[in-house]
């Protein structure tokens, strides 16, 4: 088993070297096609290069960045006069509990008197003492058509809001006690909206200028994607989330200080946002979104290596690919293409990546040849005894090592005249221990810079180094190859040895049984003789006794 494991270990070292050789000789995804891209001003342009990208220097003059199309509600969604508490009702982190009576709800002081609300339909007075909870008091105001107002409490910021139901009305508040004072709302007349909308209440309860009924429902389309809504089930926040989670390609949000819905395209470019009410008028009337009122996005405009406006390139996105180079425009750098200002993007061979790959290849090569050498050695210890390595005398494996070294040192044929045809010509040589490495890094770097295709051919041409290494290793590493065949021979030998041992053990078992049987027979005969001897001694003793007595 130990010898078989050794060959598994050998295969485990040959396979990575073969894989690297195959990778290096792959002309379609060659490591020699690895590219690096850099920008001399990354605040203006960033760049990354794909494998095989065109090497070159590109001068970008960027006149305009791509922007996204945006739009917003044409007016406030809730223009009804309103007022909100100017400060928290309760000092500190506590809040009001509107489910309790006024004297137990947590107000700073005892509530006295009443308040009067007038929105043009007539003054209506409400006495907090008449209600068993703050909620009941607010419900009475909200349900009173004559009062024409809505009051609610926001426990998130500990403030009350009072607003008229009719955008054209004014809101007049007065008190005979201290309720308005306790909720930090000053008595007076209010004619403008300062509160906006609550995005977490049902649509039919929102104080939209264009009222939405409790039983209203419908749908609309944004960029051809249909969004459904139901006034008795959905909040404004849920409708916004449904838009943003759809494939409409826009982002929507409500800004309360401006009291408007904002839409922006998720992609840049000059495409408009398409809006359409399918049933109902939630988009066009309630949210006041008019498809004809948009700030159209812009396309990016720039030139490459040109000062002629006729060579202007337009892109709908600030990120795009040209000749295998991914470009991201981040800022403009020119107002006119004739200007001398530009950003330089340089694409070149990635020498670090190429060098690292070749060094890895050479390192794995050394690992393989060292391993075969160590396992093929015959060593003598201090007492003069010799120890043979597991591969000693096996020419198939010892010759593999020499063939690998030869592949590294011999001439590569079929190359362009004048190009290096030995690894030593690009700074790769062997030392006294037959370890190969990039011994002259300057020469290697110079070869890559001067003619990278010549260096590539030295490795991956038909007679290239990587090609020959791969061809040498494949018979050993492939399924049913030399190593697996060797392991099968070892397994057969072990099996035959085990069979021989089993047969010997069987013979020994039978011989043992035979000897045990013979021993038992001898023991039985001996016992009989001893019994006879004892009997004779008894008779003789009796006879002697008789003689002496006479």
Give the CA distances from residue 16 to residues 5, 169, 409, 503, in Å, rounded to whole numbers and listed in that order.
18, 83, 21, 43
Lowest mean pLDDT among 192-201, 344-353, 357-366, 403-412: 192-201
Q: Does 548 or 513 have the greater pLDDT score?
A: 513
Q: Determine the pLDDT at residue 1.
A: 44
Q: Determine the pLDDT at residue 496.
A: 67
For residue 223, is pLDDT > 60? yes
Residue with the two structure tokens 């003598």: 380
Q: Determine the pLDDT at residue 5.
A: 76
Q: Determine the pLDDT at residue 478.
A: 86
Separation CA 89–CA 69 (nearest Å): 42
> Is the dihedral angle over the CA atoms 12, 16, 21, 26 positive or is it negative?
positive
Q: How confident is the model at residue 10 (pLDDT cuts 50, 70, 90)?
A: confident
Q: Determine the pLDDT at residue 523.
A: 83
Q: Determine the pLDDT at residue 198.
A: 86
Domain boundaries, the chain: 2-34+351-478, 40-65+302-349, 67-78+186-298, 87-174
**Average pLDDT, integer, range 444-464:** 92
C-alpha torsion angle, residues 500, 506, 510, 511 (rounded to 10): 40
Of 371, 369, 432, the residue nearest 404 (C-alpha):
369
Q: How confident is the model at residue 9 (pLDDT cuts 50, 70, 90)?
A: confident
Separation CA 388–CA 390 (nearest Å): 6
Q: Determine the pLDDT at residue 31.
A: 87
Q: Determine the pLDDT at residue 489.
A: 65
Q: Determine the pLDDT at residue 504.
A: 78
Between 3.40.50, 2.60.40, 3.30.70, 1.10.3470, what CATH number should domain 67-78+186-298 receive? 3.30.70
100-111 pLDDT tens trace? 999 999 999 999
82-123 pLDDT tens trace? 999 999 999 888 899 999 999 999 999 999 999 999 999 999
Separation CA 30–CA 543 (nearest Å): 116
Q: Determine the pLDDT at residue 497.
A: 65
Q: Determine the pLDDT at residue 547.
A: 66
Q: Does 295 or 546 have the greater pLDDT score?
A: 295
For residue 20, is pLDDT > 90? yes
For residues 384-422, b (16+ Cβ closer than 10 Å) or e, as one string? eeeeebbbeeeeebbebbeebeebbbeebeebeeebbbe
Q: Does the model's pTM come out above 0.75? A: no
For residue 142, is pLDDT > 60? yes
For residue 380, is pLDDT > 60? yes
Average pLDDT along the chain: 90
262-304 pLDDT tens trace? 999 999 999 999 999 999 999 999 999 998 889 999 999 999 9
Q: Determine the pLDDT at residue 16.
A: 93
**Average pLDDT, integer, range 116-141:** 95
Q: Does 492 or 535 have the greater pLDDT score?
A: 535
Q: How confident is the model at residue 43 (pLDDT cuts 50, 70, 90)?
A: very high
**Average pLDDT, integer, range 363-379:** 90
Express as a percent the part of the chain with pLDDT over 70. 96
**Average pLDDT, integer, range 490-504:** 66
Which residue(s) pair with 218 in the sheet?
229
């Amino acid at each position: 088993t130990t010898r078989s494991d050794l060959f598994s270990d050998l295969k485990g070292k040959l396979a990575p070297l073969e894989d690297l050789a195959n990778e290096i000789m792959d002309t379609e995804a060659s490591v020699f096609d690895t590219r690096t891209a850099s920008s001399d001003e990354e605040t203006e342009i960033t760049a990354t290069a794909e494998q095989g990208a065109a090497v070159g220097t590109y001068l970008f003059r960027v006149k305009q960045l791509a922007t996204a199309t945006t739009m917003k509600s044409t007016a406030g969604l809730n223009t009804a006069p309103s007022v909100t508490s100017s400060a928290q009702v309760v000092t500190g982190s506590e809040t009001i509990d509107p489910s309790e009576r006024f004297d137990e709800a947590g107000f700073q002081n005892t509530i006295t008197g009443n308040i009067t609300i007038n929105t043009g339909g007539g003054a209506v007075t409400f006495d907090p003492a008449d209600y068993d909870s703050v909620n009941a008091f607010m419900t009475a105001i909200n349900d009173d058509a004559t009062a024409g107002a809505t009051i609610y409490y926001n426990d998130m910021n500990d403030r009350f809001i009072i607003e008229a139901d009719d955008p054209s009305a004014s809101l007049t508040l007065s008190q005979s006690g201290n309720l308005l004072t306790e909720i930090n709302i000053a008595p007076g007349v209010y004619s403008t909206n300062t509160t906006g909308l609550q995005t977490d209440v049902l649509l039919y309860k929102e104080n939209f200028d264009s009222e939405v009924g409790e039983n209203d429902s419908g749908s609309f389309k944004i960029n051809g994607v249909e969004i459904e809504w139901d006034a008795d089930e959905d909040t404004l926040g849920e409708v916004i989330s449904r838009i943003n989670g759809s494939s409409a390609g826009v982002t929507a949000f409500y800004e309360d200080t401006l009291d408007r819905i904002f839409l922006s395209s998720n992609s840049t470019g000059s495409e408009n946002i398409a809006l359409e009410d399918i049933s109902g008028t939630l988009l066009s009337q309630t949210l006041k979104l008019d498809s004809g009122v948009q700030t159209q996005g812009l396309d990016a405009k720039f030139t490459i290596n040109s000062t002629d406006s006729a060579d202007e390139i337009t892109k709908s996105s600030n990120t795009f690919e040209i000749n295998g180079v991914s470009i991201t425009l981040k800022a403009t750098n020119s107002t006119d293409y004739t200007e001398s200002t530009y950003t330089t993007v340089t694409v070149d061979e990635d020498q670090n990546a190429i060098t690292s790959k070749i060094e890895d290849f050479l390192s794995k090569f050394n690992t393989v040849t060292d391993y075969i050498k160590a396992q093929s050695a015959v060593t003598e210890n201090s007492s003069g005894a010799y120890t043979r390595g597991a591969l000693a005398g096996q020419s198939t494996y010892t010759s593999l090592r020499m063939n690998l070294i030869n592949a590294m040192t011999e001439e590569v044929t079929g190359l362009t005249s004048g190009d290096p045809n030995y690894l030593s010509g690009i700074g790769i040589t062997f030392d006294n221990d037959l370890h190969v490495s990039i011994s002259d890094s300057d020469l290697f770097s110079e070869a890559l810079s001067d003619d990278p295709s010549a260096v590539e051919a030295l490795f991956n041409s038909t007679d290239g180094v990587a090609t020959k290494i791969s061809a040498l290793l494949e018979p050993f590493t492939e399924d049913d190859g030399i190593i697996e065949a060797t392991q099968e021979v070892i397994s057969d030998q072990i099996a035959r040895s085990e069979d021989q041992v089993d047969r010997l053990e069987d013979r020994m078992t039978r011989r043992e049984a035979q000897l045990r049987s013979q021993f038992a027979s001898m023991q039985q005969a001996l016992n009989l003789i001893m019994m006879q001897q004892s009997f004779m001694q008894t008779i003789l003793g009796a006879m002697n006794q008789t003689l002496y007595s006479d």
